[in-house]
Structure 1
């Protein structure tokens, strides 16, 4: 039936050849959109067994090695054979892939053709032998009947080219890798943390979230990330690795921790997922750093249209009045000696019993350590690191009941779990001013006439838990509006450290271990502030011996009338034991939607909403107090620009660097948020 123009002539004899050629053509027509109806005629022969010991020419195929012999055939019943059966009977290897792309190979060439394209030997363009996986060329002598086969051959070449292109690795900056073949079946462990059914259900959910993140990354237009798109096998391996790691490390809290992991992955940004994938690949294959880029601009400058002196002049209208804020934690006067003595007596009578700030358990704390060397009782602290969230009310709640509050860290509802995180110690926090003063007395910012007026300062503090409660461990101050670093120091607390609260503070034990004493600093803080600060603590930090020493250093940049800017500044002032009469607090300038204090919007939320900037992205590395201080100052600058536009609209103007009110200034009042308002509305 077939005749090749190559040196190796190939023919198919008998009904088998006819049916084979017809089946191949029909398969190509169905799968490659050959919509044109061709005139392809064939005769129907009665099937008959081939002669035992038939020579090569009777069952010859399109082969690379013409001398290969085909096995003999057994007699077969009088019915039409399937294509795969026919090919197997004549000794050729024919396979139909799931997408029905036809590939015809000889038994001799099957081994070489099944290898990957990179393992196959290259062929010259003028080589005459037929390539494995292609069809023999039709002879021109067949006239019209050759046309469909020529088209089929051309289409098959296109398919082969497409297959080769698909098998080639995409744009990648990573070496090739090969994941093991595994299934979504939890790995065997000597001591399983839960039943096999529970682990399987959790594993499938974890795998589903990983697949979703992988799909998002595959649609990314970021070229370097193409190498981080995982194959199906790699996705299964990653899920198994994650589940196994949690099962081995924390079998007691397995369920809570793995659920926390799933929630975290489901909310993960594309940049964070790329880093997560790189960590997994580095743990299995290689060590290649991958840089991530933030989606939001972190360096966008705030333009007010004013000079520095003019901004400071407008800033005076944003000063937060402290009268009436004492009930929200703002300390306006130092506790008396009698109050301090009463607080000390209460602590002595309680014999060190406190309430854990994280899990609400009762425990004892022993400043200076107990005789046996322990700091606290009660064992490990098991808690939820995030506060519960109550979903917004829906119309259907009146019929189905309101939605349950849940913990965003692990997705568990209140009461369903004791916690998803554990710590070595229980911890506590002190809020009463008199008890705070019993540890370190409050001090009012002293006047320094010899220094003259000092510029506004933004500051932020980081705290850690000790046997004395929540103490200052890092203090950062920057100038306003420039954002130049004035002070950035570690602070050794007065009590023994229970928990540095690193996931929020960003301070780790190694920072204290590598710190340089402030008195032996190589450069001044002001000079250090001119250098580029890349990441969290790029080098050894300076450290002082006590919160009182840190407070004295901060006082060096302040006068009583110096505006001191912060976010929830009462917490920072109280941990430093400072009473400052001139403060600007962004939680009051930007009140929470539900009526302001005591509700407060987080600094991260305000920065994203009003500055289009992402901060506190370090994850487990914690916050950076310098980054937070600069963001707080920029929020104030944004409000300065809005406030000046309002002032200017109603006739305010600058005379030099002094803001001058219009003649009818009695018609103006200042709102609590510092905005210039008119009686009839602004």
Structure 2
């Protein structure tokens, strides 16, 4: 008889103890022996709930006569099993049996009252395949628990959307398997006896190669060939020690499902070769001129009263009709609520949280294109799905400066006569959807380059909240419910905040309006203070701030395809230039403090790289002052980032021109002379 698929293992057999089948598709857990009465010291036939069919009982007794392997504590990773570490203070736990079926690797669910004694064939409940020889002894330091692997051929597994033709995948898989076989043979010949348990059998190597190829095919379909080839090269150069770690990771993931404690992410420090004051002196050379960037959303002057009045009249005439930012449908908004208490019309919003992605073109694609677009959030093709996520209400966003000013007028950074020059500031804002559009709900500012917290407050928006956008903002209703007014004395300044992660330990402070939050930020700024941010136009506009001295990392690191309006995300920039993973909270959202610090570190990385070019051409620091070379030249940084002198002669008495060609606007921009620096 063929092996059952295990589809009815959770259903009790209708025949019960009278079932005469040797291999029944239903469950017989209730009729296993081994459940004894509490008062009995030994197990007898009269103490059991039920008995097996004689044929089945005889078969099970012949193949399962010893107790399964148990560990005396819960191991944190597979290496604990190999080293044989034990602790008698924790209850025992049965190690799950190793199979090649993904279904069977999951922890089985046992109904209350079901037997778990050795005499019960419980292994049939954990795997779809017949039980093999049982585990009869504890693993020593040189071996792992026995495992049963399903025999598979070296043929790529079938996928719904294959990233490459079958012949290509088969050739790559063969090469990958050959490299794994070579590493396995080296490990087998190694003199280190503690790693002998990681020597895999032929079937296990085939399974590992299939898993590796399938993982890349599903996770990176657009760059499948490049990723898998780089993986093969890495395995080729791998030492026996590193290969043993790869095998251990594979065994943990594939078979044992033993949770591995996450290792803390050690952030690599940025070494610029300059002191803190020297970095502050140098950073004005990275300032982004705003002239000509108005078309990309940067506001350089406040809208006039006439423009504001025109905007208000337009909102009145539209009767509150807006376009949903998520699903693009039309709906009506009622600031202050309608008579029946409704804030919007249109009912729930069904949408895709991620924008569609176009697969990169491959050599095998025809001239018509590289394939149909799809949504990375759910994998559905564009046009075949209306959405995979539902929101309670529709939401909208306002982008026009005059309409933003009609809600709260823009204000230019004031000069504080009682304060001198102030150090640069990094800031980041989180926004939520209200009946007034996308509004400020959290503002965070940190010092640069130290990253010391200056300000971190929740902000009560002007309109009624439609959606806090917690998936990105990291702000949840409980944050506002537990928040205390700003300036409360029992809050310790600069205390570590867990906000943005959904489970903060201390309540945050809250201010009454975006205007109040803006005034708090102004305390750390002068008009010439460098204000650093990522896509800073969004943060400035939501705060209604016009600041003349900004450093925007989306312009400092222009997108590969022409710069603005194309932008690289903060997560991409951090991974590429800092080798750092940020915004990993998932559904818990982003942390504005983490984003502000990361943005500042990106600027420090640019200071490091730019200073190397200046230093190469003779610039130096005398104390905290930057000194130009004896023979001044006009330097030009081209689109490729090459720092070259221009051919135009100049007078040494005139300031040095530093012309930087912007990747976004494509124009040369004059920056202050190094000798005129006031930082």
TM-score clears 0.5: yes
Match of 1:618 in 2: 585
Residues 182, 654 of structure 1: CA spacing in aligned structure 2 closer, same or farther, 3 A cutoff?
closer
- Given that 2:527 and 2:547 are in contact with CA atoms closer than 8 Å, whether structure 1 keeps it comes out as yes
- Given that 1:264 and 1:409 are in contact with CA atoms closer than 8 Å, whether structure 2 keeps it comes out as no
1:60-75 counterparts in 2 under 5 A? none
Q: 1:299: Cα distance to partner?
A: 2.2
Match of 2:558 in 1: 591
Residues 532, 499 of structure 1: CA spacing in aligned structure 2 closer, same or farther, 3 A cutoff?
closer
Match of 1:378 in 2: 346
Residues 112, 656 of structure 1: CA spacing in aligned structure 2 closer, same or farther, 3 A cutoff?
same
Alignment match of 2:93 (pick from 167, 172, 175): 175
Alignment match of 2:463 (pick from 478, 488, 495): 495
Alignment match of 1:505 (pick from 473, 489, 500): 473
SS at match of 2:615: helix
Q: 1:542: Cα distance to partner?
A: 0.9
1:218-617 counterparts in 2 under 5 A? 291-293=261-263, 297-399=265-367, 401-523=369-491, 525=493, 527-528=494-495, 537-617=504-584
* CA RMSD, 1 decimal: 4.1
Q: Distance in 2 between matches of 1:598 and 1:426?
A: 26
- Given that 1:318 and 1:675 are in contact with CA atoms closer than 8 Å, whether structure 2 keeps it comes out as no
Match of 1:130 in 2: none
Q: Distance in 1 between matches of 2:329 and 2:288?
A: 37
Question: Where do 5+ consecutive residues of structure 1 fail to align?
Answer: 1-91, 96-105, 121-166, 185-203, 207-218, 227-261, 283-287
- Given that 2:446 and 2:593 are in contact with CA atoms closer than 8 Å, whether structure 1 keeps it comes out as yes
Question: Where do 5+ consecutive residues of structure 2 fail to align?
Answer: 1-53, 71-80, 97-106, 110-124, 129-157, 161-182, 184-193, 198-216, 223-244, 648-658, 661-679
- Given that 2:500 and 2:588 are in contact with CA atoms closer than 8 Å, whether structure 1 keeps it comes out as no
Q: Distance in 1 between matches of 2:510 and 2:640?
A: 37
Q: Distance in 2 between matches of 1:532 and 1:552?
A: 24
SS at match of 2:350: strand
Q: Could you tell me the TM-score, scaled by structure 1's length? A: 0.59
Q: Distance in 2 between matches of 1:317 and 1:675?
A: 16
Q: Could you tell me the TM-score, scaled by structure 2's length? A: 0.59
Asked if 1:664 is matched to 2:582, the reply is no
**Pairs aligned (count):** 445
- Given that 1:589 and 1:673 are in contact with CA atoms closer than 8 Å, whether structure 2 keeps it comes out as no
SS at match of 1:451: coil
Q: Distance in 2 between matches of 1:119 and 1:397?
A: 53
Residues 571, 408 of structure 1: CA spacing in aligned structure 2 closer, same or farther, 3 A cutoff?
same
Match of 2:173 in 1: none
Q: Distance in 1 between matches of 2:434 and 2:542?
A: 13
Q: Distance in 1 between matches of 2:454 and 2:329?
A: 41
Residues 428, 521 of structure 1: CA spacing in aligned structure 2 closer, same or farther, 3 A cutoff?
farther
Q: 1:397: Cα distance to partner?
A: 3.0
Residues 470, 368 of structure 1: CA spacing in aligned structure 2 closer, same or farther, 3 A cutoff?
same
Residues 291, 533 of structure 1: CA spacing in aligned structure 2 closer, same or farther, 3 A cutoff?
farther
Q: 1:679: Cα distance to partner?
A: 1.8
Q: 1:660: Cα distance to partner?
A: 2.0
Residues 540, 484 of structure 1: CA spacing in aligned structure 2 closer, same or farther, 3 A cutoff?
same
- Given that 1:317 and 1:674 are in contact with CA atoms closer than 8 Å, whether structure 2 keeps it comes out as no
Q: 1:433: Cα distance to partner?
A: 0.2
From the two aligned structures, give the one with the greater helix fraction: 1
Asked if 1:115 is matched to 2:65, the reply is yes
Q: 1:113: Cα distance to partner?
A: 7.5
Match of 1:98 in 2: none
SS at match of 1:417: coil
Residues 304, 611 of structure 1: CA spacing in aligned structure 2 closer, same or farther, 3 A cutoff?
same
